[in-house]
Chains A and B, each alone.
Chain A
Amino acid sequence: MKMKQKNLGHFFTVSMVISLILLTVIILASVFAAYVAPYEQAAIDMSKTFQAPSAAHWLGTDNVGRDILSRLIYGARVTLLSALVVVVISVIIGVPLGLISGYYGGKVDNIIMRVEDVILAFPALLLAFLFVASFGKSITNAIVALGIVYVPMISRLTRSLTLTERNKAYVEAAQSIGFSDTRILFRHILPNCVSTIITQMTLDIGYAILDLAALSFLGMGVQPPISDWGAMLEEGRAFIQISPLLCLAPGISIIVTVVLLNMLSDNIQMYLDQSQRKLPSFKKLRKMAGGLIEQ
């Protein structure tokens, strides 16, 4: 009589499911904003300013009568997409740099590390601010600026992963077979680093949301009439006494999204790190083993 052994390391833990579902809701809502949002984001109606939440306007209206919920949904699109592009830029530049500096070491490594040191010496936001101030205020510049500023984080991570993998036997085996360095870096070492890099990327999207919001808040990011959550925060600031919801709505959205992203990142990491997988409690163990021992 064979006893079925369940795979006890589940991918779908409770927090993983929650974070995945909620994030998917947010992303889908922003993608299909045109269908989901009850109103146009720029629909001004001066007769309905500062309305409290009601059936018609779930989160009320702002200072020019626009529906806050709709603005939130349209704003999500800009915020999330921008954050994603920031991270993609940093990865496209940072990962190859990390691979090269980790694999070759020596002078190449030194040069790359020192350049990144310069970037790291400045607070991310300040550097982005300077970049945008020099090249003009626009969301594109803000995205590019942050993308460059985030490069050292990903590059360093990739570098240390590469350093670990480089000494492993399968890399030596690939070298002794005569594979080119490029092939070894991208077909052998990189796939073994991908999971950790993805964990970091998920976290970085959260950081990017915060930094983009800050830039928009300072007027360095999106320009009117487009607005994202950061811009909404800025606009709502003046009216905080009258209707706090103008600030609270985008603020809480930012917090919730970043927290969900962090949860997702943690869950991915826990799943990948075998030893931390949640196993059933001792009581359950006794029950399961009891069945086994009785045979």
Chain B
Amino acid sequence: MAENILRVEHLKKYFPIRRGLLTKEQKVLKAVNDVSLTIHQGEIFGVVGESGCGKSTLARCIMSLTEVTDGQIYFQEKKITNLNNKELKPFRQNMQMVFQNPFSSFNPTMSIRQTFYEIGKVYGLNAADIKARCKELVGQVRLSEEVLTRRPEELSGGQLQRLAIARAMFLNPTFILMDEAVSALDVSVQAQILNLIMDLRDSLGLTMLFISHDLTVVEHVCDTVLVMYLGSVVEMAPTKELFDNLLHPYSQALISAKPKEHPSEEANRIVLEGEAKTSLDSGEGCLFAPRCRYCQTGLCDCVTPQLRELTPEHFVACHRYNEREEQK
């Protein structure tokens, strides 16, 4: 049984929103509302969802860039929830992140070499070691050493994103979180980065959390996929199992909305009607209920569905799953 690298239990991140001076009532934005997941060694775990689903907030919670309201995060079975900077330092080395926009994730006033050098210095490496490590990394991401002398503005998106991955690998981490890391890239560049990610997983056994809104990319690269909607998990399963067998109505609608891959493909669009809820809406009931064609009044809009394991390793949060199965 592979080691658990990351374990998240019932994670909640709420933002209080003040509505005007006169209302006493404080609304709460439930950006992440009870999310649990486990990532094993060597796995690429995908999190998929549309804007507002909370995947970015989830990323920030896991990387301790923001405080967690409730729940626990375990890294290699050690609790890291809401630790302060000093306590986090030993973990930081093993958990690194790659951001969406390669241009803004590098300090514009520093050259690439300076950026890498600083990391080495803060973590106690000597100059010779740092130099060797830079050379090694640049080779691993298939760039020429010459890019080290450049500033971020002189490089292309593809080159910078590769350097971002190199930077994430500098300290030999066990775990890398990719937050929409290929979304801002051109198609041909995206292909190169995806190949690189898969190579790193195969050669170094890196564990990754891959966040994206692009279903095809997630299907291509991830071993397990988790679908989020308005802060909650609606479905989670190994990739092949999920895409062969979409159980949750939202997942089905999401996949059906993907653009065609060929003009002569039949489009079986599931059109979502009704007003979508927002993460501000409190109260019980399935968040997807107003737009769901299987919604059963009295059940789906009153009782929050729990995540249940319907088939081995395939989790769904839906009341009516069994009935829909029977209808088939």
Name A residues whose Cβ lies closer than 8 Å to a Cβ of B.
Answer: 168-170, 172-181, 183, 187-188, 191-192
Instruction: Report chain A residues within 8 Å CB of B97.
Output: 172-173, 176
State which of B21-29, B104-112, B228-236 sits at the interface with chain A: B104-112
State which of B86-94, B193-201, B281-289, B298-306 sits at the interface with chain A: B86-94
CB-contacts of B71-114 with A (<8 A)? 85, 88-89, 92-93, 95-97, 99-101, 104-110
Chain A: minimal CB distance from B20 (Å) = 21
A172→B99 contact, CB < 8 A: yes
B108→A181 contact, CB < 8 A: no
With beta carbons under 8 angstroms apart, the residue of B100, B109, B119, B123 that contacts A192 is B109
Binary A-proximity of B109-128 (CB < 8 A = 1, otherwise 0):
11000000011001100000
Cα A169 to Cα B167 with chains together (Å): 14
B92→A169 contact, CB < 8 A: no
Do A177 and B109 contact each other (CB < 8 Å), given the known contacts A172-B65, A187-B118? no
B107→A170 contact, CB < 8 A: yes
B63 at interface, CB cutoff 8 A: yes
A170→B93 contact, CB < 8 A: no
A175→B105 contact, CB < 8 A: no
B104→A170 contact, CB < 8 A: yes
Chain A: minimal CB distance from B9 (Å) = 22
B122→A192 contact, CB < 8 A: no
B119→A177 contact, CB < 8 A: yes
Cα A176 to Cα B173 with chains together (Å): 12
A191→B65 contact, CB < 8 A: no
B92→A176 contact, CB < 8 A: yes
Rank and list the top 10 A-B pairs by shortest CB-CB distance, nearest first: A178-B92, A169-B105, A191-B109, A169-B104, A176-B97, A169-B99, A170-B107, A173-B105, A176-B63, A168-B104
Cα A184 to Cα B92 with chains together (Å): 15
Cα A174 to Cα B92 with chains together (Å): 11
Known: A176-B92, A179-B122, A192-B107. 15 other contacts (CB 8 A): A169-B101, A169-B105, A170-B106, A170-B108, A172-B105, A174-B107, A176-B95, A176-B97, A177-B119, A177-B122, A178-B93, A178-B123, A179-B118, A181-B85, A192-B108
Main secondary structure of the interface of B (DSSP, over half): loop
30 A-B pairs (CB sep. < 8 Å)? A169-B100, A169-B101, A169-B105, A170-B105, A170-B106, A172-B65, A172-B97, A172-B99, A173-B106, A173-B167, A174-B107, A175-B65, A176-B65, A176-B95, A176-B96, A177-B96, A177-B122, A177-B167, A177-B171, A178-B89, A178-B122, A178-B123, A181-B85, A183-B122, A187-B118, A188-B107, A191-B107, A192-B107, A192-B108, A192-B109
With beta carbons under 8 angstroms apart, the residue of B65, B85, B107 that contacts A180 is B85
Interface size class of B (residues with CB under 8 A): 20 to 34
Name B residues whose Cβ lies closer than 8 Å to a Cβ of A.
Answer: 63, 65, 85, 88-89, 92-93, 95-97, 99-101, 104-110, 118-119, 122-123, 164, 167, 171
Main secondary structure of the interface of A (DSSP, over half): helix
Instruction: Report chain B residues within 8 Å CB of A191.
Output: 107, 109-110
Instruction: Report chain B residues within 8 Å CB of A177.
Output: 92, 96, 119, 122, 167, 171
With beta carbons under 8 angstroms apart, the residue of B88, B95, B99, B123 that contacts A173 is B99
Chain B: minimal CB distance from A169 (Å) = 4
Cα A188 to Cα B152 with chains together (Å): 14
With beta carbons under 8 angstroms apart, the residue of A174, A178, A187 that contacts B88 is A178
Cα A168 to Cα B109 with chains together (Å): 14
Chain A: minimal CB distance from B165 (Å) = 12
Instruction: Report chain A residues within 8 Å CB of B107.
Output: 170, 174, 188, 191-192
Chain B: minimal CB distance from A109 (Å) = 17
Instruction: Report chain B residues within 8 Å CB of A169.
Output: 99-101, 104-105
Cα A178 to Cα B99 with chains together (Å): 16
Cα A183 to Cα B89 with chains together (Å): 14
Instruction: Report chain A residues within 8 Å CB of B122.
Output: 177-179, 183
Cα A173 to Cα B160 with chains together (Å): 14
Cα A97 to Cα B107 with chains together (Å): 22
Chain A: minimal CB distance from B275 (Å) = 31
Instruction: Report chain A residues within 8 Å CB of B119.
Output: 177
Question: Nearest residue in B to A173 (C-beta to C-beta)?
Answer: B105
Cα A173 to Cα B95 with chains together (Å): 12
Question: Nearest residue in A to B103 (C-beta to C-beta)?
Answer: A169
Chain A: minimal CB distance from B66 (Å) = 10
Chain A: minimal CB distance from B99 (Å) = 5
Cα A180 to Cα B107 with chains together (Å): 16
Instruction: Report chain B residues within 8 Å CB of A187.
Output: 118
Cα A192 to Cα B108 with chains together (Å): 8
Cα A175 to Cα B105 with chains together (Å): 11
Instruction: Report chain A residues within 8 Å CB of B95.
Output: 176
Cα A176 to Cα B175 with chains together (Å): 12
Question: Nearest residue in B to A168 (C-beta to C-beta)?
Answer: B104
